[in-house]
Amino acid sequence: MSARGTFQIRRATVDDLPLLKPLWQEAQFSETDLEKRFTEFQVALNDQGAVVGALALQVAGADGRIHSETFADFALCDTLRPLLWERLQGVARNHGLFRLWTEEGAPYWRKDAGFSTPPAEALSRFPEAFGPMHGGWIALRLRDESADPNLLEAQFALFRQAEQAKRDKLLQRAQFLKMAGTAIAAALFVFALALLVWVVRHRH
């Protein structure tokens, strides 16, 4: 929880729903959809405890989507938006996110928050959970994926697992061939022995 001046910024709770719903309705958001995802929201409260702003962060793997920004009075947006953005950055760090995406169109997100048109390399990693990709998306890289030690370790662990699976498969195949070879050798031995007995019996 954080507070700036007369405003308090914190994660939304179920008790905030009656205060959030009018904001969603005013912004013509899907109230039914957002109600199911209210835990994604950070809210700004005034000194009377009323919700006067809200902003959500959806997490999908190592990416996050900032969405559904709304204010009770848009005269407050220049004051509340930086506070909500600061709060969401902390949430993103706690989740270890690499990149943030948003469709929010306010100039603040490009000019002050640092979002920009994503490069082709980033577009290839766009999470399907965020909806269809289109030209309105902007992104902000928080960390370099290739330099993250946890990611490298995870990738190395997957490589080790794949190599172990290959070795196990080869060992199983070798074991099968060994058993098949032993069975064939035994069958040939029995056949040769039977043939030898037949020859001995029919020699005279």
Q: How far apart are CA 142 and CA 134, in angstroms?
A: 21
Q: CB within 8 A of 101, min separation 6: which ones?
A: 63, 64, 65, 66, 118, 126, 130, 137, 138, 139
Residue 29 in this model has a pLDDT that exceeds 60: yes
Predicted TM-score (pTM) of this structure: 0.69
Question: Check: CATH 3.40.630.30 for 2-144?
Answer: yes
Continuous segment of H or E residues that includes residue 139: strand 138-141
**74-92 residue pLDDT tens:** 999 999 999 999 999 999 9
**107-144 residue pLDDT tens:** 999 999 999 999 988 898 899 999 999 999 999 999 88
Q: What is the domain partition of the chain in residue ranges? A: 2-144, 148-204
pLDDT-derived band at 157 (thresholds 50, 70, 90) equals low
